[in-house]
A and B are shown apart, each in its own frame.
Chain A
Amino acid sequence: MKTLLSSSDPIEKKIQALTDDDLKKILNVFRQKLRFNDAAYLNSCVHCGLCADSCHFYLASGDPQAMPAAKLDLVNRIFKRYFSFSGKYFPKLTGSLSLSRELVREWVDSLFGRCTLCGRCSLSCTMGINIFALIRAARSALAAAGLVPPGLQQTVDTALQTGNNMGISKENWLETVEWLEEELQKEVGDSRARLPIDRKGARFLYTINPREAMYFPLSISAAAKIFYAAEEDWTFSSTNFDVTNYGLYSGDDEGAGIMSGRLIQAMEELGCSVLVLAECGHGFNSNRWEAPEWLRRKYDFKVRSIIQVVADYIREGRIRLNAGLNPKLHTLHDPCNLVRLGGIIEEQRYILKQSVQRFVEMQPNREKNYCCGGGGGQLAMTNFAKRRIEAGRIKADQIRATGAEVVATPCHNCIDQIMELNKHYKLSIEIRTICEIVAGALVIERRQSGQSTPGGAGIK
């Protein structure tokens, strides 16, 4: 087996030190994570191999270990051995295996290091197996034994300990908002323009990816400018503002529930009616679809992506755009968690067609788009960085084929990965969020003093 885990790697040391009790724990947690649908899927794989070409890791490397069927088989061998009659009594015939340190090493190397949980293989699967969900169940078992690659685990730990994945303090967050508010006021020429904090009863609670506050403040400004133009009634939370949830990737359901639970707490404390999620693919999937399952509760408020909100503003005429202000040729990268796993498919296209002069689709696109390689926690797992860049070649080729000068993508993980691909594969492109592009095309009329707007709309 080819592995990127070296003997000096901390996780390799943990694998070496695994006791029989640890292996039992991994097995128990794996069993606890399985439900009837998982058991059905695990009984279904026929090893047809047709999923292979759907995976960017396999396409880029040609390595059979990267085939989704091979990754699923690592999980299935254990399922068969412990939870099926034939696997238990005819292991050689069925290929079932006992859980061992060697197999745990393969799990870590392949299930964390060769998969972005993008779900593309499921669409190609003859049987319709949700391979990514089973790989995540195995990741959960590894997480319970402390076998999450260090970078990813650190991101989860930081979020759990500090309230956001970058460890931004409340003071720094408030200072950033204050500074951005001043910038917005200058830009729109209106001293009443606000980036509201903890505004009780606001219609929207808007969340951000903490990377925006640290490295991409223009993304926050762009969203604020759009809210201003739409005269929206919105607010940030001073404490619970992080849309990301790396528990989705590490497999730590409990931690993931705590992280998403904070946004629910902010919604309830502030009495907002819609939780609006920033441009973050996995943040959307986590908070829209998975968090209610982690927390085992139904929400009594709506959860929407900023993409849906902006599309509504355009349709309703609440913002006006001049596409001529964005004359370059744009293409769109569909984040897997927002599109294939999230169901937000047409809104971003509608927005771009209204806000840029020239737009070209990647091929394939929408739910069939290739993962950029940055999902699944890959950006945080430095152990597997080499594979991540190699797997990203498929996306780089897709981008190059469009001839686009600008790649729009509503996800900061995707942006980070595509920025690296831009450098590595010399693509010479700009990478921007949808809100940044919309903000660049906004037509805002100067508001007269005393002019009121429905709902307060970011003006105090």
Chain B
Amino acid sequence: MLLLKFGVFVSFGFSLFLLTYLVLHTFSFGKRQLHSKAEATRWKGVAYAFSLGMMPWEKESAAKHLPTYVAGIFYHIGIFAAIFYVLFTAASLSLSEAILSPFRVLLAVGFICGTGLLLKRAIKRQMRYISCPDDFVANILVDLFILSGFLFSLLSAVIPVFYILAILIFLYMPLGKIRHCFFFFYSRILFGSYFGRRRVLPHSQTSKS
């Protein structure tokens, strides 16, 4: 068990290291010096990208696919809850029942939402068309990880499975699409910056007649 606990932290550290490397590696592609004069500060755009720009009333894709949007949010909450839970447990710390109860709910809802998104990917023709094996592997691994966390909260015997899945996920993170856990923030900053300096976003009159 000690080895597994050690493995959780080593793989977590390995993942953080490689993800940081991947982000820094993008700079090997060279900077883009901008010469055109900005119309507005880019930081307003960045702030928008992480706030209003993600809300269903501003973002058409979220509004049109509200169930997927909501499922995505709860799925990610479940993932972060599971990661927190596994690190906390591997550090030999225990959660009180008052904290564990809401955690169980988050994990259960996260698992259901993740499975729903997996089914959507498998069933819908359009989703299958844009999917590669990595999309399925990542989703299945993460779903099992959240499920094992949920089961462990009820049954301590599940702990080795919870640790092994955590190690697998941490090792897989930099290799597959789960790397977006880092790149999401990077991309949103770039998005906000691009539209912010052009004074396109934020835009107070959005879609009003």
Q: List residues of chain A with CB under 8 Å of any chain B CB.
A: 34-41, 43-54, 64-65, 67, 69-70, 73, 85-86, 90, 92-95, 122-130, 288-293, 295-299, 339-343, 345-346, 360-361, 363-368
| 23 A-B residue pairs with CB within 8 Å | A38-B29, A43-B180, A47-B132, A47-B135, A48-B72, A49-B124, A49-B126, A50-B69, A53-B61, A93-B134, A94-B134, A127-B187, A128-B192, A292-B35, A292-B37, A298-B35, A298-B36, A341-B198, A342-B198, A343-B198, A343-B200, A365-B207, A366-B206
Alpha-carbon distance between A43 and B180 when the two chains are bound, in angstroms: 7
Q: Is the CB of B198 within 8 A of A289?
A: yes
B-chain residues with CB within 8 Å of residue A365 when the two chains form the complex: 207, 209
A-B contacts, CB under 8 A, total: 185
Q: Decide if the interface of chain B is mainly helix, strand, loop or mixed.
A: helix
Q: Is the CB of A53 within 8 A of B39?
A: no
Q: Is the CB of A50 within 8 A of B68?
A: yes
Q: Is the CB of A53 within 8 A of B60?
A: yes
| Residues 183-209 of B at the A interface (beta carbon under 8 Å) | 183-184, 186-188, 190-192, 194, 198-201, 203, 205-209
B62 at the interface (CB under 8 A from A): yes
B33-46: contact bitstring with A at CB < 8 Å (1 yes, 0 no)?
11111011000000
Q: Is the CB of A43 within 8 A of B29?
A: no
Q: Is the CB of A40 within 8 A of B186?
A: yes
Nearest CB in chain A to that of B135: its residue: A47
Q: Is the CB of A40 within 8 A of B183?
A: yes
Alpha-carbon distance between A393 and B142 when the two chains are bound, in angstroms: 41
We find that the number of chain B residues with CB closer than 8 angstroms to chain A is 66
- Choose from A44, A70, A341, A368 the contact partner of B206 (Cβ within 8 Å): A368
B160-202: contact bitstring with A at CB < 8 Å (1 yes, 0 no)?
0000000000000011110110011011101110100011110
- Choose from B29, B34, B209 the contact partner of A363 (Cβ within 8 Å): B209
Q: Is the CB of A37 within 8 A of B32?
A: yes
Q: Is the CB of A53 within 8 A of B64?
A: yes
The answer to whether residues A44 and B31 also contact, given A127-B188, A343-B200 and a CB cut-off of 8 A, is: no
Q: Is the CB of B32 within 8 A of A124?
A: no
Q: Is the CB of A36 within 8 A of B206?
A: no
Given contacts A44-B187, A128-B192, 17 further A-B contacts (CB under 8 A): A35-B29, A36-B28, A43-B179, A48-B72, A54-B60, A54-B61, A64-B130, A70-B130, A86-B174, A94-B176, A126-B61, A126-B72, A295-B35, A298-B36, A343-B199, A345-B205, A364-B60
A-chain residues with CB within 8 Å of residue B28 when the two chains form the complex: 36
Q: Is the CB of A47 within 8 A of B131?
A: yes
| Residues 1-60 of B at the A interface (beta carbon under 8 Å) | 22-23, 25-37, 39-40, 49, 53, 59-60
Q: Is the CB of B205 within 8 A of A128?
A: no
Shortest Cβ gap from B201 to chain A (Å)? 7
Nearest CB in chain A to that of B127: its residue: A49
Q: Is the CB of B198 within 8 A of A46?
A: no
Alpha-carbon distance between A288 and B38 when the two chains are bound, in angstroms: 10
Shortest Cβ gap from B23 to chain A (Å)? 8
B-chain residues with CB within 8 Å of residue A36 when the two chains form the complex: 26-32
B-chain residues with CB within 8 Å of residue A363 when the two chains form the complex: 207, 209
Q: Is the CB of A124 within 8 A of B39?
A: no
A-chain residues with CB within 8 Å of residue B190 when the two chains form the complex: 37, 40-41, 128, 130
The answer to whether residues A64 and B125 also contact, given A35-B32, A93-B132 and a CB cut-off of 8 A, is: yes
Shortest Cβ gap from A334 to chain B (Å)? 11
